[in-house]
Structure 1
């Protein structure tokens, strides 16, 4: 049996030629047998079978392949980890599926609550359109190594590719990116971007344009007359650096000087240090004459706004607040103006991009950035001393 790592002793063309020779010799090929014969992973064998089917050289069946005239209704016996031979029914494409690959999409996201459910729902809807089913796994922002979870997803029967939101910090990030490339399984990063190697080769990705979202928020505040605009970021979120980049770009566009804005990195709101940071933000607002804040994310924005009001500031009369994420911003009182990332659209685009990669493995690498929306509500208004807008 294969150890799970391809030795790459043969080129893909030679490997597929050997697969076809085995099919001609035996009349049927089984994934489990080919992994040992070719000394490659099951993922590589399945990918070769898909490619050869697209070329009209064989017909894929569950567990293996038969000649193009073979009966595809009978699954090929497969062997599980206990050595027991059996069959399972492959999922049929949905009736509304467009022409494209059938099978499963493995999805790994860092959380199954807050923010990510909206992205996953978009993935599920798009997968149905392509006749694909979704196999979802949750990782963790604290996960030191996500490769074991990815390896398990890659071994799922009929998996066609992976949609992954890996950690982008820490020492393991480059290793995960390298694993994705070396696995040769089609993959798309979602809400993440990564490069690899000395030439900075990019991995395929779909992201929200968070920098644009922050820029929109600051321009909205500037349009209300605000010149002192602060930024409060979540220290733990991978989104923060892009929000900060957009905020700084907007400040440069608008000619705001370093004396007219400030930036704070907040710890997790459940940490014992968080209340002290919020108090410091409010104190800095009062001391510096700051009249507007962009806060990532919604819960943190609500806490900052509430603490400001408890300190005697009116929201939005003295301090306008824009939240970033718009998960629960509209529930606060006053309802909070917020930047809304395109979660559903990002999920749909990621699966669509993966399906196109499976159908055309040689297409150029695509990176897609989707624009967020600014939802204006009650927490932003004219800067103190500015006339109300008509």
Structure 2
């Protein structure tokens, strides 16, 4: 994310307030994320963290900070020799997933469980070897995992889970067993509902041309697109009034060109609002629009899907916030109930996100 040099740099008090707000919301902040979102150097962010630590407001950790009030490891219930261990495998240990994992760890502490966390990768072609190592090396009683479910991978992992005999819960993923499509236990954010809420918010502001920008590699994109289409159909917004673009991953060299194309298309088509997944993509679109002299939200309203760092950007981005911590809590709760009663019916839990209205969305400009 780049920052317009003409924008006013946030004052120290504003930076620290934004940093603490993100910490309160997500339970952790990363120097790189705050630096990028606020348009200041990493050195400046580290100084702010150091000052806030002196004031007792947070605790520094490698690469960022955690709340000072977070329960210390010594304060957690000490696992007994017979306590159970939960294995967790997620595709990332930085963006999005830390909030989910913290919810798992908090719920596990309540029950004296030990969590063994492993990270995979969105590029990992097959998670089964990692799951096998987790199950064998750590002697887990059950698994919570977010595997890739596209193509044949989902079916392969589902079969492995069935054959392992371990209780398991999918988190932010859904899968089923062939041949009868028996569902696996799962906890997900209702991303389709989140997208529907976003489009309704923009329509309430008078927008009739609402574009959708998706992350090409994200498993969340399909559900966001479904909610967007359902909202457009329910509100009578025709497909001719909208456009959809798949943005390359922000680390891809093609990313700047894709952002330029999104803004080009919005201007040419008369689109006045965009729903963008996720925060870095949304902030890049806003920056491109402002670099061209477009007002945000005056000429183009932008609503982000994720709310990881949306509130730190200027203007602060209206965003849909998935219930990350709640998903983590519910996943551990489901696994505990499965361990206690192996014959209980399969549960699939969908938790609603929240819409957080900020500065980047507003009424359609007359004329």
Which of the five TM-score ranges fits, normalised by the shorter chain?
0.7 to 0.9
Query: After superposition, where does 1:67-106 map in structure 2 within 5 Å?
Result: 95=77, 102-106=83-87
- Aligned match of 1:150: 131
- Contact 1:338-1:376 at 8 Å conserved across structures: yes
Alignment RMSD, CA only? 1.7
Query: After superposition, where does 1:180-259 map in structure 2 within 5 Å?
Result: 180-259=161-240
- Contact 1:228-1:291 at 8 Å conserved across structures: yes
**CA apart distance, 1:223:** 0.3
- Aligned match of 2:361: 380
Instruction: State the alpha-carbon separation in 1 of the partners of residues 132 and 249 from structure 2.
Output: 30
**CA apart distance, 1:96:** 9.4
Secondary structure of 1:159's counterpart equals coil
Is 1:359 the counterpart of 2:334? The answer is no
**CA apart distance, 1:158:** 4.6
- Aligned match of 1:112: 93
Deviations 1:50-91 (A, max 9, x none): xxxxxxxxxxxxxxxxxxxxxxxxxxxxxxxxxxxxxxxxxx
Match 2:296 to one of 302, 315, 321: 315
- Aligned match of 1:127: 108
**CA apart distance, 1:157:** 4.7
Query: After superposition, where does 1:254-273 map in structure 2 within 5 Å?
Result: 254-273=235-254
Instruction: Give the stretch that moved more between structures: 296-305 or 148-157.
Output: 148-157
Deviations 1:269-289 (A, max 9, x none): 111111111111111111110
Match 2:146 to one of 160, 165, 168: 165
- Contact 1:326-1:338 at 8 Å conserved across structures: yes
Instruction: State the alpha-carbon separation in 2 of the partners of residues 355 and 155 from structure 1.
Output: 20
Which has more helix, going by share of residues? 2
What is the TM-score when the length of structure 2 is the normalising length? 0.77
**CA apart distance, 1:258:** 1.2
Secondary structure of 2:114's counterpart equals strand
Match 1:282 to one of 247, 263, 269: 263
Note closer, same or farther for the CA distance 1:161–1:311 as it changes in structure 2 (3 Å cut): same
- Contact 1:130-1:355 at 8 Å conserved across structures: no
Q: Which runs of 4+ in 1 moved over 6 A?
A: none
Q: Which has the larger radius of gyration?
A: 1
User: Quick one: higher RCO (CA 8 Å, sep 6+), 1 or 2?
Assistant: 2
Deviations 1:300-333 (A, max 9, x none): 0000011011112100001000001001101111
Deviations 1:114-172 (A, max 9, x none): 00000000000001112101000000111111111101111245521000000111432
Secondary structure of 1:349's counterpart equals helix
Note closer, same or farther for the CA distance 1:228–1:157 as it changes in structure 2 (3 Å cut): closer
- Count of residue correspondences: 292
- Aligned match of 2:307: 326
Instruction: State the alpha-carbon separation in 2 of the partners of residues 153 and 238 from structure 1.
Output: 23
What is the TM-score when the length of structure 1 is the normalising length? 0.73
Match 2:323 to one of 342, 366, 383: 342
Instruction: State the alpha-carbon separation in 2 of the partners of residues 213 and 173 from structure 1.
Output: 24
Secondary structure of 1:381's counterpart equals coil
Secondary structure of 2:283's counterpart equals helix
- Contact 1:103-1:158 at 8 Å conserved across structures: no
Deviations 1:1-30 (A, max 9, x none): xxxxxxxxxxxxxxxxxxxxxxxxxxxxxx
- Where structure 1 has 5 or more consecutive residues not aligned to the other structure, the ranges are 1-92
- Contact 1:232-1:294 at 8 Å conserved across structures: yes
- Contact 1:104-1:134 at 8 Å conserved across structures: yes
Secondary structure of 2:268's counterpart equals helix
- Where structure 2 has 5 or more consecutive residues not aligned to the other structure, the ranges are 1-74
- Contact 2:88-2:145 at 8 Å conserved across structures: yes
- Contact 1:96-1:129 at 8 Å conserved across structures: no
Secondary structure of 2:143's counterpart equals strand
